[in-house]
Structures are given as C-alpha cells and as structure tokens.
Copies of this chain bind each other. A is one copy, B any other.
Amino acid sequence: MSATTLIPSDPTMVKDFATVFARLKPHMGVLDVFLRGQLESFEPEIREMADYCIDTSGKRIRPALVFLSGWNGSEVPAQELVRVAGVVELVHLATLVHDDIMDEADLRRSRRTASRQYGPEAAVLLGDALFAHALHLAAQFPTTEVCYAVSDSTRKVCAGEIVQTLRRGTTNITREDYFRVIDLKTAELFRISCFLGSKLGGFPSEFVDAASRFGRHLGIAYQIYDDLADFFGQEKQIGKTLGTDLQSGKVTLPLLALLERLPADDRALLVDEILRRREPDLAGRLRQMSELGIFDMVAAEVETELVHAEAALGPHGSLAPVGLLMQLCETLRYQVRNLRAPAGV
C-alpha cells in the first residue's frame, strides 16, 4: 500500500479506513470539481500553475476533516462545506508551495515541486495567489466568521513556520519549542478544519469545541508522524524527498530524541554537524536511532496525542461525525506501524 493515501490497499487490515474514505468519495469528487472550477477565476498565465498545485493525488486530510466534522450522513455535501473544504485546502496548498521553496525540496507527491517546476520566484507569488484566492472564497460566506478564523489560523501557521526557519541549524531546542511550532504550523489548520466543519454542519457549540480540540491533537499527532516519516519512510511510498529535515538542519522530534539519548561524545559530533551545516550521514543517524529506540519513543508521542484527540470526542459519541473522526485516529496508527514495517519488506 502507499503511505501517501489514507486508504490502505489491504482490505483485511484496514476495513475501518476504507469505510471512512469510501463514504467521502462523493464529497471529494464534488470538491475536485469545485477546485477545478476556481481555476477559471485566475489570470490565464497562472491558471496552469495553479492547476499543477491543485492536483488530485494529495491526501486532502484537511477537507476530509471539514466533511467528517460536519457529517450528517448525506451522500451530497452541503455547498458551504465544499466551499470551506476548498478554503482550507487552498491555504494548505499555498503553505506547501512556500515550504518547498524554503526546503529546496525536489519532490512533493512524487512530482517536481512548484518551486522546481516554475522557479522559486514564481512559486512565491503562486503561493500568494492561492492564499488570496482562499480568502476570497472565505469572503463569500454570509458573515465574516470564516474569513476571521481562516486569516487568524494562517497567521499562526506562518508564525510557526518562521520560528522553525529561524531555528534551523541550531540545536538548543526543547521539546516545548518543538511542540509549540507544530501546534502553530500544523495543528492550527487541522483544528480550524474541524471547527468550521462542525460549525457549518450546524452542530451545538459543545461539539464544535470538542471537534476543534480533536483536530488540534490529531494535527500534532500527524506532524510527529510526518517528521518520523522523514527519517523512516520510503521515498517511493511517502512521495517526497526523505531526509530533508536532517539535511536542512531542522531539529524535529526524532532528532531531538536522538540528541537526548546519544552518549555525550556522539551528541557533540551531531551538534557540530548541525551547527556547521556539514553534510549529514542519514544512514548512520538511522542506525543510531534504531539502536536507541527512537522510533518507539516518537511513536509513543503520536499515540499520546491520539488518545487526547479521542478523549475530546468521547462525550459526543451519539453524534454522526464522531465514529468517522475516531477512525482517522486508527488510520494514523496504521500509518505509523506501516513506517516501521513497510508492506513487502
């Protein structure tokens, strides 16, 4: 199976996930039509570039959170949910386009990044245009609530990315620093997807709050998984260049945990490698991580967040979205396990 989709291909193992995503298929189809339709409103010169970014091979986790949080059992998603799913996906795509410039990444979803395809200069502006279009869609709701929430979240996402960028190539980073950054850069957009989905779905405010907390913890869990995959994934499965965090001196949880657990001499060597931006030894670091049980330690952090996420929804088990949202936690657990023992290995 491919770790890039939320639908594992082995039906015996993953019946639950297949159920979730089979149910979302019509929703995602409507979303795709909606996003393609938005291309019309771009200037001709950038339509192709925007189209390149709005591809269909992405995970679309944030739109899924919108649809699932606003779930009422209907096969046909409400237009408002489709639009807000489009908004969060466009904001996410915009941040990916800008991220890939900074990471100097070559691949994203197994294709050249927009930055490699069109050059970093055009990519800066393309990201801006996607983001502006997201806000333009957000402004098409009857009240300013969506605009307000989305612009605030975007500001937080940017702040998280900036803090992360400023810290690159430094090693005096605490777990608290790490968690603050991923709360801003990833969990915020997960949170708002659940907030807006449940809100526009007409659910009571107690559930909207609970869904928002669920989204935040799922987002933290997802980012830890993503950082783990940058070390332990397989390039073909993950669909992007691996080892980019180590390469760019970004200290994520696996590396942080390695720094904590290495004997003093080895730690000093690793710190020196990061500070001097020396060519990293990915294979060597993976070996050290294996020896020191880093995978299990980081996977346990994912699990802690998933438990928090599930606990937030616990009291609302009778509502339609809850069962489906809970299954997303199982999906992520499966993906983490799959990193450790990829199918066919």
Contact = CB atoms under 8 A, between A and B. Distances in A.
Interface residues of A, number: 47
Given A45-B166, A166-B45, A158 B136 contact: no
A152 B165 contact: no
A320 interface: no
Nearest to A141: B144
Interface string A140-155: 1111100110111011
B165 A125 contact: yes
Given A140-B148, A144-B141, A144-B147, A163 B45 contact: yes
Contacts of A124: 98, 101-102, 124, 127
A43 B184 contact: yes
Given A132-B154, A152-B136, A161 B125 contact: yes
A129 B147 contact: no
A94 to B, nearest CB: 8
A19 to B, nearest CB: 36
Interface of A is mostly: helix
Given A98-B125, A144-B144, A184-B43, A133 B151 contact: yes
Interface in A94-124: 94-95, 98, 101-102, 119, 121-122, 124
Q: Which of A127, A128, A144, A163 has the most CB of B within 10 A?
A: A128
What is the total number of copies of this protein in its complex? Answer: 2
A139 interface: yes
A133 to B, nearest CB: 6
Interface string A154-190: 1110110111011000000000000000001000000
Contacts of A135: 135, 147, 150-151, 154
A49 interface: yes
Given A144-B143, A148-B136, A158 B128 contact: yes
Contacts of A133: 151, 155
A111 B128 CA distance: 25
Interface string A178-218: 00000010000000000000000000000000000000000
A113 to B, nearest CB: 14
Interface in A63-105: 94-95, 98, 101-102
A138 interface: yes
A136 B49 CA distance: 27
Interface of A: 42-43, 45-46, 49, 94-95, 98, 101-102, 119, 121-122, 124-129, 131-133, 135-136, 138-144, 147-148, 150-152, 154-156, 158-159, 161-163, 165-166, 184
